[in-house]
Chains A and B, each alone.
Chain A
Amino acid sequence: MPMCLMISERLKWLLSVSTTMLLTMLLWGDDAAAAENCQSLRERSAGQQVISIHCGGAPSATVDADGRLWAAFVQDKHVYVTRSDDNGVTYTTPVRVNNEPEDTEYNGENRPKILVAEDGTVLLSWTTKTSPNFTGEIRFTRSTDVGKTFEPPRTMNDDGLMTGHRFDSLFLTPSGKLYLTWIDKRDLDASAARGETYPGAAIYYTVSDDLGETFTPNFRVSHNSCECCRIAMAPHGDDEVAILWRQIYDEHIRDHAIAVLGEQGEVSGLTRATVDDWFIDACPHHGPTMVQAAQPGQYHISWFSDGNLHSGIHYGRHNMATGTTENIIQVDGTPGAGHPYLAHYDNTLYMVWKGFNGMASQLQLMRSQDDGATWSAPQTLFNTEQASDHPLLVTAPHGVFLSWSSEEFGYLFTEISSDEKQ
């Protein structure tokens, strides 16, 4: 009874303010409170729907040239974008990106991607599921009015087929070329129609040189990729990108391949990046991470495998000139540990991942000051006995930030490159 009274008092009060005020006060007014999470927001919302970065699925983030945080997340079949001008302390009211609801994928390996170009154009991609049978479409949209409104989303796979197009990744080169890559099953379908077998799927991509106004046709990177792992992207020179993905070798081995993609569909340097000998006809749902190393043509990579040669999370430095990955170390071999993410800032290399001790997940961090040759001991930043997303790192002009969503802490955007945390 007291709860009912409380609610009815609150309703009376709520009716006395305008809808805008109501939403502002209830949902966003004090987002600044520390340790905000979805449950606390819902408890305070008096039954109002809470659209918030703390409640949304699988958020991702970027920082624009002015140092402002932009984040995208999925809620109730819509992608939302919110901005924070104070490094994630307070957020603007989320803007709905797609007016028509879509079955937008949101999980560890699939999330909306957001980038902001130097001129302020907000760029977004995501995957929309079109059936429960692994079919999907790669969607893209952008905002040219600083995130106030978004163009109607476009489907970027140009085959018109009801097949798998999923696990999109989006990258903007320093010169402003926008690359969108994904896992595609058009070649699998074509093979099946010919009665041929086709292990896995394929990697495809498209490029825009006008910040998403127009795109090239789709280009194939490789046949026989694994079907269910995110693709890592990093710059290669001014105009190209390097990508790293899980690739099927000898029909049953799921290790990794790396390649350089050009803006006209040129695929070069395609080579095997990891030799883990993971013999598995299964879905690891565990994609790699990659950043450029100090030496041109070299990349820091981190990945997960349970192969005969490497088991657990590993780190290595891949040399595109020799086609080899060197300096390989095991980062964490504990079962349940996974999902590494790398960032490079101010001569320091950062790696975060999720550990697990049987009861709780640990958000782990380690650093290298010598381009990956040696690493600090892992440090536990957070410990939670509730569910959590894969951790991501965002490199901003003013530092490296952890972008991580969990039931307990809500969405966290926390600097990990500041002195006091070292």
Chain B
Amino acid sequence: MKSNRLLSAAVALCVGLLMSTAALADSIQPLGTGTFAELKSGFEGKPFVVSLWSVDCLPCRVELELLGELKKGDPEFPLLLISTDTIEKREEAVYILEEYGLESIPSWMFADAFIERLRFSIDPTWHGELPRSYFYAADHSFKAHSGILTEEKLREFFPQ
């Protein structure tokens, strides 16, 4: 019985490794309560855009399509793409991101189900509606927007 258990543990480990290798094919990382502040400091002195979405949000798909096009044309565009789904929904999120060519850019998913606190860590005044976006200026003053992000809105902030 003991050897059986060892064998199944070994199998489980191998399966686990295979699965984690597969999971690494995307670039999704968990967003904990301190992550957003860290990400922001990575953009010190630089402007950037935050786009929040979820797998359950239909208008978010319109925005993802726009962002997919944008990243294709300008891979360096400073974008923080964050899903408010818990990271357990990673597979579903990847499926959707793949549709818009966004699966390989770094993006984040909520690390746990206490969404109120994670939302608060991004913006204490946000009620949770999606899509939600933020335009951060170089000095990190920001403008918030609820609803689909349009190309005009983006261009307003990042004139070419």
Which of A's residues lie within 8 Å of B, judged by CB? 107, 132, 134, 227-228, 279-286, 304, 306, 335-336, 338, 354, 356, 358-359, 361, 385-388, 407
Contact = CB atoms under 8 A, between A and B. Distances in A.
A365 B15 CA distance: 48
B13 interface: no
A227 B58 contact: yes
Contact of B59 (A107, A281, A304, A358): A281
B109 to A, nearest CB: 15
Contacts of B115: 387
B80 to A, nearest CB: 18
A361 B113 CA distance: 12
Interface string B112-149: 11111101100011111111100000000000001110
B56 A283 contact: yes
B84 to A, nearest CB: 10
Contacts of A385: 114, 117
B56 A280 contact: no
B56 A228 contact: yes
Contacts of B128: 284-286, 336, 338
A280 B129 contact: yes
A335 B125 contact: yes
Contact of A282 (B55, B96, B131): B131
Interface of B: 54-60, 92, 95-96, 112-117, 119-120, 124-132, 146-148
Given A132-B95, A134-B58, A336-B120, A284 B129 contact: yes
Nearest to A335: B125
A228 B114 CA distance: 20
B119 A132 contact: no
A281 B147 contact: yes
A338 B127 contact: yes
30 contacts: A132-B55, A132-B92, A132-B95, A134-B56, A134-B58, A228-B58, A280-B129, A281-B59, A283-B56, A283-B58, A283-B129, A284-B127, A284-B128, A285-B128, A285-B129, A285-B130, A286-B128, A306-B127, A306-B146, A335-B120, A335-B124, A336-B127, A336-B128, A354-B116, A356-B117, A358-B120, A359-B117, A387-B112, A387-B113, A387-B115
A284 B92 CA distance: 21
B64 to A, nearest CB: 12
Contact of B129 (A282, A354, A388, A407): A282
B129 A356 contact: no
Contact of B130 (A132, A282, A304, A387): A282
A283 B112 CA distance: 21
A283 B147 CA distance: 8
A265 B60 CA distance: 34
A282 B148 contact: yes
B57 A228 contact: yes
A386 B131 CA distance: 24
Contacts of B127: 284, 286, 304, 306, 335-336, 338
Contact of B147 (A280, A285, A354, A356): A280
A361 B56 contact: no
Given A306-B129, A336-B116, A356-B116, A283 B124 contact: no
